[in-house]
Amino acid sequence: MKIRNAVALVTGSNRGLGKAFAEQLLAGGAKKVYAAARDPSSIKLAGVEKIKLDVTKLDEIAAAAKNCGDVTLIVNNAGIARGSGFLGADTIEHARAEMDTNYFGPLLMSRAFAPVLAKHGGGAIINVLSVLSWITFPGAGTYCASKSAAWALSNGLRQELADQKTQVVALHVGLMDTDMARDIPGPRSNPADVVRQVLAVLESGGSEVLADQSSRGVKKGLSAEPGVYLGGAPH
């Protein structure tokens, strides 16, 4: 899929990676970029069409699909992290919130917009996942579970939407220089660099982006002994 003349909808586009997607889509010649956020007034980027969209609300997703019928590219970027393990007092509340946004959000968006994409020749869906789609860290277990579910979703959508020629791209990345990761120590990627990689893979017809050394090392470590998901170190 080509960026030039595409019509994109980016969820969670008021900051961080979502804002970087919107910026680079505009710079790449997209005909229109719908910038979606729960509070559209928080979107400060010029040149986009702001829309109110909470990906956990069915009525808002349905309205977006109805009102944005020219979309050819969906970027499922909106996500939350509650910093919760599996055995804490608030685990169930946090797990449900993360699943609602990080898994059910992309699922509902993909279901709602699949007919729209089909109408325009197939288009594409980009799902923002994580290196934590493949491994689980203490203190972030519920977030990891939601991203693992979103990885399975991406793989399933790729198969189910193949007949209508919808390209599905999954982004795996570790820490980025965003508000979500600001209190987590360690090296981090520039969101603009990550988006450049994703859009290059999109235009080449690819399906997966390993945007940093962390994601590349962990994927390689899945088949190691012991597997990295069992506690082995990525290489």
Catalytic residue set: 143
- Pairing mode, strands 32-37 and 73-76: unpaired
CA distance 22 to 30: 9
Per the CB < 8 A criterion, the answer to whether 109 and 157 are in contact is no
Burial of 170 (0-12, 13-18, 19+ CB in 10 A): buried
Sheet holding 49-52, edge to edge: 49-52, 32-37, 7-10, 73-76, 124-128, 167-172, 208-210
Single out the residue of 174, 180, 150, 196 nearest to residue 20, CA to CA. 196
Q: Where are the beta strands (DSSP E) in 59-196?
A: 73-76, 124-128, 167-172
CA distance 34 to 116: 14
